[in-house]
């Protein structure tokens, strides 16, 4: 069976500090991978998605970046965090590009920037 | 770009039927998905419609009208555990991605 891992579960970081969130998927190969951010009480905002190693599509211009160094690893980074970066960060995967309608989400990372 | 509209909050009693509507404006539409998210948890997939009509999965059904850019999620025999946020999401971008609505918070009361 497939499993998706995200860490850390919670994170408190000062403004201006760097960020690295990691997501890994087990039990499948060549998945589509996604990073979302959810502000409190709001919907999910798609940040990045990837259809393969080294292929990243950015949806929202901001101070975040993403990388996919391995088939089942997706990393979200920032060089300098802003207060507005606080939120619930969710990684997700789908079976293939055309299966994006059915995504499986990780447990998420709750980030507070102080 | 894409835009989706859902009611922000719906309240219903246990055992009742509730319908959550979703209207959308988008280009390159592939289909409409529905997700459930409990407080503090991750979203889970409920249903998907690519063609017009009704899809039934147990107590949950989803409907799509492509000509009206409209869909709904129907929850029957409501249970307390159904209290959660429900999101519609349009599949676009060549099928590669989902754009989510702002969500509807469903409260089920005794």
Which tens digits make up the pLDDT trace of A62-112?
789 999 999 999 999 999 999 999 999 999 999 977 789 999 999 999 999
Integer Cα distance of A97 and A77 in angstroms: 23
Closest partner residue to A102 among B41, B45, B101, by Cβ?
B45
Proportion of chain B above pLDDT 90, given as a percent: 89
Closest partner residue to A43 among B41, B48, B100, by Cβ?
B100
CA distance B70 to chain A (A): 17
Q: Are B30 and B23 in contact (CB under 8 A)?
A: no
Give the Cα-Cα-Cα angle B31, B35, B38 (nearest 5 degrees): 170
Nearest to A28 by CA among A99, A88, A107, A76: A99
Contact A104 B101 (CB under 8 A): no
Nearest to B85 by CA among A38, A84, A87: A38
Which run of H or of E encompasses A13? strand A10-13
| pLDDT over 90 at A60, yes or no | no
Q: Are A25 and A93 in contact (CB under 8 A)?
A: yes
Which run of H or of E encompasses A37? strand A32-38
Interface of A with B (CB under 8 A): 32, 34, 36, 42-46, 49, 51, 57, 59, 90, 97-98, 100-108
pLDDT band at B96 (very low <50, low <70, confident <90, very high): confident
**What is the structure's pLDDT at A9?**
94
Distance of CA B29 to the CA centre of its chain: 16
Name the DSSP letter for residue B8.
Answer: S
pLDDT band at A61 (very low <50, low <70, confident <90, very high): low
CA distance B47 to chain A (A): 8
Proportion of chain A above pLDDT 70, given as a percent: 99
Contacts of B56 (CB under 8 A, 6+ apart): none
Query: Of A15-24, A33-42, B31-40, which gets the smallest average pLDDT?
Result: A33-42
Contact A43 B44 (CB under 8 A): no
Average pLDDT over residues B17-26: 97
Question: A63: alpha, beta or left, given left = phi > 0 and alpha = psi -120 to 50?
Answer: alpha
Integer Cα distance of A97 and B32 in angstroms: 15
Please report how many Cα atoms fall inside a 13 Å half-sphere around the Cα of residue B54, on the Cβ side. 9
């Amino acid at each position: 069976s497939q499993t998706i891992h995200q860490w850390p579960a919670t994170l408190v970081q000062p403004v201006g500090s760097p960020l690295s969130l990691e997501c890994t998927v087990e039990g499948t190969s060549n998945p589509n991978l996604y990073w979302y951010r959810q502000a409190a009480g709001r919907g999910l905002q798609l940040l990045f998605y990837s259809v393969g190693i080294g292929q990243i599509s950015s949806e929202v211009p901001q101070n975040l970046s993403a990388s996919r160094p391995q088939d089942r690893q997706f990393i979200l980074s920032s060089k300098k965090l802003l207060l507005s970066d606080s939120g619930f960060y969710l990684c997700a995967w789908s079976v293939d590009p055309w299966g994006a309608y059915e995504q499986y989400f990780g447990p998420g990372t709750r980030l507070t920037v102080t | 770009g894409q835009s989706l509209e859902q009611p922000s909050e719906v309240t219903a009693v246990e055992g009742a039927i509730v319908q959550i509507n979703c209207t959308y404006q988008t280009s390159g539409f592939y289909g409409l998905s529905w997700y459930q998210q409990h407080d503090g948890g991750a979203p889970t997939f409920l249903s998907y419609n690519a063609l017009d009509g009704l899809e039934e999965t147990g107590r949950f059904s989803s409907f799509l009208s492509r000509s009206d850019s409209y869909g709904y999620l129907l929850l029957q025999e409501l249970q307390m555990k159904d209290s959660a946020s429900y999101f519609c999401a349009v599949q676009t971008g060549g099928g590669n991605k989902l754009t989510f609505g702002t969500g509807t918070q469903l409260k089920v009361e005794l």
